[in-house]
């Protein structure tokens, strides 16, 4: 576990961050769904209030109270939706930064591996004859 490279550690963090981003998106979708539901209920109450049916006239005060409660709930959900939208943006930005760091670390590790391969070739090319001359002496 301790021999994991920086890019591998960052890759794991990116996966966790993307999961957090998905959770934030789910919360946003759920809040949006609830707002749609509340708006549909408000439309139904408005139709009932505007109805010419005498049954609806008897309940007009109850409809008005319900409409006010739904309006309050819609305002609350609007605020929650804005918070969730900001959270999605923040989580996505964190994930993007971590992913960029992971790519940089991976590129650095590849460069280091390439450099080491070049050094190994140099050692093989120039190190072997020198050691064989020492053995002849």
Residues 8-24: tens digit of each pLDDT: 999 999 999 999 999 99
Nearest residue to 7 (alpha-carbon basis) of 106, 100, 111: 106
Angle, helices 6-50/60-122, rounded to nearest 10 degrees: 160
In this structure, the number of other CB atoms found within 10 A of the CB of residue 126 comes to 10
Q: Give 44-99 pLDDT, tens digit per residue.
A: 999 998 888 888 788 889 999 999 999 999 999 999 999 999 999 999 999 999 99
Phi and psi at residue 28, to the nearest 5°: -65, -45
Q: pTM of the entire structure?
A: 0.74
> How far from chain centre, in Å, is Cα 88?
6
């Amino acid at each position: 576990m301790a021999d994991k490279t920086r890019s591998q550690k960052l890759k794991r963090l990116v996966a966790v961050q993307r999961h957090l981003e998905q959770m934030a998106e789910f919360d946003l979708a759920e809040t949006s769904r609830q707002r749609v539901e509340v708006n549909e209920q408000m439309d139904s109450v408005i139709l009932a209030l505007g109805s010419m049916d005498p049954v609806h006239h008897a309940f007009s005060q109850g409809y008005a109270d319900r409409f006010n409660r739904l309006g309050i709930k819609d305002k609350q959900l609007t605020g929650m939706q804005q918070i969730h939208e900001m959270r999605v943006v923040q989580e996505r930005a964190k994930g993007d930064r971590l992913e960029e760091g992971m790519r940089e670390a991976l590129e650095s590790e590849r460069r280091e591996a390439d450099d080491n391969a070049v050094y190994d070739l140099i050692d093989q090319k120039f190190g072997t004859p020198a050691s064989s001359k020492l053995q002849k002496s």
